[in-house]
């Protein structure tokens, strides 16, 4: 499983679908927002938590279709399905690799981009924490969506339509953590809900994604 994890990391970087593409998209979204809503500091300060979380969420979408599609096309997924490694473990490893190449870089870059949106100083720590807690759920939910559409050609649009509604609770609670933290309010409730979503996704979705892969590989 460690070799599979390292292999996916190398493929993500070499194929150009890893952290570089996601970070570039995240930067573009953050830079364009002030042009669209105006440069007023007060306005940017209010919308910063939501914009940063929406940007991170959309950046995660860019590489979801590559989680299983490349392995499906070259036949590697069939070999992984018959390997001694449980298919649920394969799903978890691939989701972890996606998070390492997409979610983690976005989490680390978010405070820098928060400066462009005039995020309140107390919100930076909560921004990093909320993304660190919430982005694993985005990768795991994305892996489930990728498993559902792995057998479809040009299924990227369908994948986005399937995954985006499942992303909404994570987006709501993640942005709320940052908003409350930036305003000096209590963040325990949205943070607990955000953590519960992530833990639930990590506990249940590997089995659902593996079942979907078995159906598509028949």
User: Of the ranges 14-18, 20-24, 81-85, 181-185, which one carries the lowest mean pLDDT score?
Assistant: 14-18
Alpha-helical regions (H) of 38-102? 41-61, 69-74, 76-82, 87-98
38: pLDDT strictly greater than 90: no
- Model-level pTM? 0.91
175: pLDDT strictly greater than 60: yes
Distance of CA 144 to the CA centre of its chain: 12
State how far the Cα of 203 lies from the Cα of 185, in Å rounded to an integer: 30
pLDDT in tens, 6-17: 877 777 777 555
Angle, CA 86 vertex, CA 85 and CA 88 arms, to 5°: 130
Nearest to 72 by CA among 86, 57, 90: 90
User: Of the ranges 7-16, 58-67, 136-145, which one carries the lowest mean pLDDT score?
Assistant: 7-16
Domains of the chain by residue range: 2-217
């Amino acid at each position: 499983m460690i070799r599979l994890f390292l292999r996916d990391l190398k493929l993500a970087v070499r194929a150009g679908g890893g952290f570089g593409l996601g970070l570039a998209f995240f930067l573009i979204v953050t830079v364009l927002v002030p042009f669209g809503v105006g440069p007023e500091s007060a306005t940017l300060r209010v919308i910063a938590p939501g914009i940063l979380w929406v940007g991170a969420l959309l950046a995660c979408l860019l590489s979801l279709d590559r989680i299983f599609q490349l392995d499906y096309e070259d036949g590697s997924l069939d070999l992984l399905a018959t390997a001694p490694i449980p298919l649920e473990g394969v799903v978890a490893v691939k989701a972890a690799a996606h998070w390492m190449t997409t979610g983690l870089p976005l989490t680390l870059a978010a405070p820098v981009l928060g400066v462009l949106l005039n995020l309140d100083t107390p919100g930076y720590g909560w921004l990093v924490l909320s993304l660190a807690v919430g982005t694993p759920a985005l990768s795991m939910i994305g892996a489930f969506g990728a498993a559902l559409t792995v057998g479809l050609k040009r299924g990227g649009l369908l994948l986005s339509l399937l995954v985006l509604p499942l992303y909404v609770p994570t987006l709501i609670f993640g942005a709320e953590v940052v908003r409350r933290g930036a305003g000096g309010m209590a963040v325990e409730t949205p943070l607990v809900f955000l953590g519960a979503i992530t833990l639930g996704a990590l506990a249940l979705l590997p089995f659902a994604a593996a079942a979907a892969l078995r159906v598509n590989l028949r």
